[in-house]
Structure 1
Amino acid sequence: MGFSQALSGLNAASKNLDVMGNNIANSQTIGYKSATMQFADVYAGAKVGLGVSVAGVQQNFKDGNLEATGRNLDLAISGGGFLRFDQGEQIVYARNGQLTMTPDGYLENAQGGRLTGYPGAAGNGGQLQQLNIPAVGLPAKATEELKATLNLDAGMATLDPAAFDPLKPATYSYANGATVFDSQGSAQTLTLYFLKTGVNTWEVKAARATPEGQEFSADTTRLTFDSNGLLQGSSSISGGVAGTASSPYESTPVTFALTGGANNLDFQLNLTGSTQFANEFELGSLNQDGFTSGSLVDISVDKKGQIIGSYSNERTQVLGTIAMANFRNPEGLSPVGGAWVETSDSGQALIGEAGTGLFGGIEAGVVETSNVDLTKELVNLIIAQRNFQANAQTIKLQDEVLQQAVNLR
């Protein structure tokens, strides 16, 4: 039986060399995980062992180093988990995040697998699908709210609102410009006129610039301040008739009739946080939520796996969220060349969002290098070579013993 024992050792040693050779060959493969041969002795009831068998090949899912590339479609996982790809008729899982964009907007790896995830922002959930970057631009959004915080000078003289004339600065206390957008994305230039009309009361008139001059909103906002100079309430004056004053303060409507196909401009004027102190007029902030249309100019990926589109109108939008996967037993996954597929040993895939629970964060502009320790593999290769030689020497010695037995007379 000495021959069979040595032969089993040669076969096992040969396969061990194959595993090490594969590790060394993939020492520069992005996302590769090294493997180790597991041996088991064979007894089968005999007092002397019957040799050795290959019990399995164990994968080492230790993280590799992250290496910067500067390319926004190169992704790496910092921590546990896998990227999920729809590849042909099967779902595969990979640590290699080197992606390219197809002409129709899908994100693919080198094997043709398409990255999967959820539409829109993280947390939306829904049905997993192949992520697609739409070629269409970002449509315009009409302004729905104009926010401003300012200080109105409490020492200003009281004015008669009936004498207001935008061409006569003496008939109003203060004026400030603002820009809003209509439903077609056209910028509309506004002027807000502030008039002190009584003790702790002000009126705000909104005007839109037109080729003929200015068009005023049918609604005028009346502001009421308390004795400490804090904004207390507001009401809307339409056609000279004041509505019921609100307390605490609420935003008020501003409306303009537009021509040229756009919807009427209708938004809320929000002056929350404004004050009436005995200081000069001061504009603290001015913001509005509308914007013109824009074309997609770039995409990026954040740590949560959100794919963010940047547009020519300086706006951003979450186009999709990358789905992460993990397993109770990653070592039970079956390799399929650059990726893995789930098996009964690995268990079903656990799907979630990057940076939560079992899932690591996603890093853009970097890749995960192979976790092969080349120095260690070369040392192990020498040991494996000596193991092969020792088994070959065993066969040689068994041959010599058999030859001597044959030569006995």
Structure 2
Amino acid sequence: MLRSMYAGVSGLNAHQQMMDVTGNNISNVNTVGFKSSRVTFKEMLSQTIKGASAPQDNRAGTNPQQVGLGVSLGSIDTDMSSGNLQSTEKTSDAAIQGDGFFVLRNGNNTVYTRAGNFDFDRNGNLYSTSTGLLVQGWLADQNGEYSDFNAQNVQDIVLQQQINATATDQVSYAKNLDADATNAFSILEQSLELDNGTDSDNLEFSLTPVEGMHNVWDYTLTADDSSTVINSGTDELTGQIRLDNDGNLVEMTKGDLTTGTSITGASGISVDVKGSGAVNLDVASIGDNLNDEYLIDDSSVASGTHTVNMTYEQDALRNIAVDVYDSQGGKHTVVVPLEKTANNEWTISDSEISVDGVVATPAPTLGGDHVITFDKNGNISSGQTVDLSFTPAGPDVAQTIELDFSNLTQFAGSMTANFDNVNGYANGSLESFSFTENGDIVGSYDNGLTKVLAKIALAKFQNPAGLTRKEGVFQTSSNSGDPELGASSTGGFGTLAPSKLEMSNANLAQEFTNMITAQRGFQANSKLITTSDEMLQELVNLKR
């Protein structure tokens, strides 16, 4: 009877501990990142009254006779399964989806948590708002890159509040230059009704671009009357015209440019009107600009009476403007004019490149005209890079920027060539930040720069249930194993869920069931003690 009484006492103690664990789970049902626990019991040491015997001769063996001495606590196991995620819309909150723990520094000690309710203090330190401990991670360099993700270089995460100006030293260009791009040269108006005093005739001037040749056009000058003779030939004069990219006349010939004769200058065209007398027409001189100017003019009568007036527009041109920065953060606009100068050839004129609209002293320079050529497949074959030098007024020191055209293409179609990437920036102050799924903290500055600043460290263990709880965080124990540190989304570590928190994984339905079970178990053990007491009372009453 005394054994049964003490067994009941052990049952009371065990079920009281079960109720304690259940109560703790229920009280932390809204604790961020909380991991619930469960209790398991085990039978205490049994007292053997009679040992077991083996079968002998015709007698069967007997089993041992043992009386149990009660129940004891077998284990309190931590459930490390993930809780549900709750959206908070707070940019400094983060939850872990999958395995891993956030790493916090407590003085010289390191502790771990699943609670990602973080914020930044006035010094820019990322810390846990529930514990005040500093979050650990890796800081990125100026290029947003990391050296290595290991425990040796993990440190406090501090956001860079100010970013110093950095001079631009490289601009890269990409996309397409139109292989079919041509400059527009057309007739604005013409008036060629010629009269030599005896007879008159009307001439018609026409123009057609030469396919496969840059800035070359075929022309035809035809008389209405077949008896009119032009330049001692027939009633029709044919040839070619070449202009430079600015619309200046390079050559106008009777016949093609390679074998024909030049007719530029005064009285370049002689028209014998119906065989009764000549009218001389002037042709523009080499170097004359033909944009809204005369190609052909009448020299025998008042100037401008008999004319062919032309218009020219440079369409085979791509001006690309990009903002660059000097060493003091001053912004400058560089305009690079890419002019088509031949088939598969584009030229940047050193005299036309500008910085802040300035092409004069101190002149920005490429060291001479820069030619970019493309192969038959539309890929760049030469002129991939060139250095631009200029002296910004603020620092008053020469600055060199590499212009990289290696990603340009030349295909027939749209003219989309533009700058692709430019480094350098003005000084700026941090305006906002955000977390990414791979654990990066990205800062946005008022100078328009978005920069990777740091990465949050995660830790994982061989036996996470073996961690020891202490003041809302976990510490390593002899059975948890040593922590392995790494970055989110790599090597079996979970991913980060920005602006979310992991809720408690305590299951209320299960906890209430456990509470009822603990209550009934406690009640039954209480009855065991009272029943044993009644039996002892009956024993005492035998002596009356």
* TM-score, structure 1 as length reference: 0.87
Residue 139 of structure 1 corresponds to 165
1:124 corresponds to: 148
Tell me the amino acid that sits aligned with residue 173 of structure 2: K
Instruction: From 87, 99, 104, give the equivalent of 1:80.
Output: 99
Aligned-pair Cα RMSD in Å: 2.8
Q: CA deviation digits over 1:181-218, x for unaligned, max 9?
A: 22222221223234444564432022223579673414
| 1:159 equivalent in structure 2 | 244
What is the aligned partner in structure 1 of residue 297 from structure 2?
Answer: none
Identity over aligned pairs, percent: 31
Indicate how the Cα distance of structure 1 residues 227 and 17 shifts in structure 2: closer, same or farther if over 3 A, else same. Answer: closer
Q: Cα 1:394–1:84, aligned 2, differ >3 Å: closer, same or farther? A: same
Asked if structure 1 preserves the Cα contact closer than 8 Å seen for 2:331 and 2:426, the reply is yes
Flag the structure with higher strand content: 2
Q: 1:128 to 1:202 in 2, by over 3 A?
A: closer
Query: Are 2:364 and 2:388, in contact at CA under 8 Å, matched by a contact in 1?
Result: no
User: What's the CA shift for 1:21?
Assistant: 0.6
**Matches for 1:257-406 after TM superposition, within 5 Å:** 257-261=391-395, 263-275=397-409, 282-290=415-423, 291-406=425-540
Equivalent residues of 1:122, 1:304 under 8 A apart: no
- Secondary structure of the 2:428 match is coil
Q: What's the secondary structure of 1:392's corresponding residue?
A: helix
User: What is aligned with 1:241?
Assistant: none
Q: What is the aligned partner in structure 1 of residue 68 from structure 2?
A: 49
Compared CA separation, residues 343 and 255, structure 1 to 2 (3 A): same
**Contact 1:31-1:96 at 8 Å conserved across structures:** yes
Partner of 1:176: 319
**Amino acid aligned to 1:136:** Q
SS of 2:71's equivalent? strand
Q: Which runs of 5+ in 2 are unaligned?
A: 49-65, 183-212, 216-242, 250-286, 292-311
Quick one: distance in 2 between partners of 1:199 and 1:70? 56
State the shift of 1:311 in Å.
1.2
3-state SS in 2 of match to 1:56: strand
Q: What is the letter of the counterpart of residue 119 of structure 2?
A: T
CA distance in structure 2 between the aligned counterparts of 1:210 and 1:328, rounded to whole angstroms: 64
The one-letter code matched in structure 2 to 1:50 is: L
Amino acid at match of 1:255: S
1:64 alignment partner AA:
G
Aligned residues: 391
The letter of the residue matching 2:131 is Q
Deviations, residues 300-333 of structure 1 (Å, cap 9, x unaligned): 1111111111111222111111111111111111
* Alignment check: 8 A CA contact 2:166 2:329 kept: yes
Q: Greater shift after overlay, 61-70 or 261-270?
A: 261-270
Q: Which one of the candidate residues 356, 361, 380 is aligned to 1:209? A: 356
The aligned amino acid for 1:181 is Y
Pair 310,279 (structure 1): closer, same or farther in 2 beyond 3 Å: closer
Q: Does residue 222 of structure 1 match 2:371?
A: yes
The aligned amino acid for 1:73 is S
What is the rounded CA distance, in whole Å, between the counterparts of 2:104 and 2:111 in structure 1? Answer: 5
> Which residue does the alignment assign to 2:381?
232
SS of the aligned residue for 1:258 comes to coil
Distance 1:391 1:123, change over 3 A: farther
Kindly indicate whether residue 93 of structure 2 is the aligned counterpart of residue 70 of structure 1.
Answer: no
CA–CA separation in structure 1 for the residues paired with 2:412 and 2:45: 98
SS at match of 1:97: coil
Contact 2:37 2:79 in 1 (8 A): yes
Q: Which SS does the other structure have where 1:389 is aligned?
A: helix
Residues 89-139 of structure 1 deviation map (CA, whole Å, 9 limit, x = unaligned): 421110001012111111111212111011114563251111111222353
Match in the other structure for 1:111: 131
Kindly state the Cα deviation for residue 275 of structure 1 after the two structures are TM-superposed.
4.9
Alignment gaps of 5+ in structure 1: 235-249
How far did 1:271 drift? 2.4
How much does 1:284 deviate?
3.0
Higher Cα Rg, which structure = 2
3-state SS of paired residue (2:419): strand
C-alpha change, 1:212 and 1:195, in structure 2 (3 Å) is closer
Query: Which moves more between the two structures, 134-143 or 356-365?
Result: 134-143
